[in-house]
């Protein structure tokens, strides 16, 4: 709804409006023409700042990945001991997903065919969160608190567990009679158990 004149950096305005539409109306109705109409420009103006819709979505994904990584960094400092840090990181990952379902959705809706089109440096940035978890595992292993065959495989497995629960919860596929926090607690406890070889004790 902003006038065309009020912006010096149209790219930023486009991204903001795209994010706004994404959060408000969902990915399905994220359209170039609607973004353009809303910010008071013609649809083709967007193409002066983005190669196309894919590139725009990629930029949004990049934003989301950045936010997730920052959050993990800020809430899980090195000073926390490995097990607690891993637990914290898992919980923050899940919380991020549940608090930003639209972001989480586009961050994971890239299909195999489109994967190659995803810019390499974005791909690298997107993997920082995974590496963050892997780093926690390595430090825990070095401190003798974790037992793992392979940090990369364990990190991937943990990621799969976290992604699974976020994905199912976001899409409301989990029975409503199941308390989400109980489910999350169960999962995260299993995550910790999987690297500590301790029997699972679920904390609800």
Cβ-in-10-Å burial (0-12, 13-18, 19+) of 180 comes to middle
- Which candidate, 2, 76, 75, 90, places its Cα nearest to that of 38? 2
Count of chain residues binding its own copies (CB under 8 A): 47
Among 84, 142, 143, 153, binds its own copies (CB under 8 A): 153
Task: Please state the closest distance from residue 24 (CB atom) to its own copies, in A.
Answer: 12
What, of DNA, its own copies, none, does residue 33 touch, CB below 5 to 8 Å by kind? Answer: DNA
Distance CA 70, CA 17 (A): 22
Interacting residues with DNA between 27 and 66 (CB under 7 A): 29-34, 40-45, 47-49, 52-54
- Residue 40 or 101: the one with the smaller Cβ distance to DNA is 40
Radius of gyration for the alpha carbons in the chain, expressed in angstroms and rounded:
20
Interacting residues with its own copies between 55 and 74 (CB under 8 A): none
Q: Which helix (H) or strand (E) holds 42?
A: none
Among 34, 37, 128, 190, binds its own copies (CB under 8 A): 190
Distance CA 204, CA 197 (A): 20
Contacts with DNA, residue ranges (CB under 7 A): 4, 10, 29-34, 40-45, 47-49, 52-54
């Amino acid at each position: 709804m902003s006038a065309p004149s009020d912006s010096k950096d149209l790219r930023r305005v486009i991204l903001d409006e795209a994010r706004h539409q994404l959060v408000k109306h969902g990915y399905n109705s994220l359209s170039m023409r609607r973004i353009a109409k809303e910010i008071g420009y013609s649809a083709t103006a967007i193409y002066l700042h983005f190669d196309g819709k894919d590139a725009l979505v990629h930029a949004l994904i990049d934003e989301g990945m950045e936010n997730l990584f920052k959050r993990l960094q800020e809430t899980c400092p090195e000073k926390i001991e490995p097990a607690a840090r891993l637990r914290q990181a898992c919980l923050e990952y899940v919380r991020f997903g549940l608090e930003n379902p639209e972001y989480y959705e586009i961050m994971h809706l890239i299909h195999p065919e489109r994967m190659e089109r995803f810019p390499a440096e974005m791909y690298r940035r997107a993997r920082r969160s995974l590496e963050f978890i892997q780093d926690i595992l390595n430090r825990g292993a070095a401190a003798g608190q974790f037992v793992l065959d392979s940090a990369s495989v364990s990190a991937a497995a943990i990621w799969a567990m976290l992604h699974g629960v976020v994905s199912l919860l976001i899409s409301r596929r989990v029975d409503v009679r199941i308390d989400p926090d109980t489910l999350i607690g169960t999962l995260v406890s299993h995550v910790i158990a999987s690297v500590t070889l301790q029997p699972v004790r679920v904390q609800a």
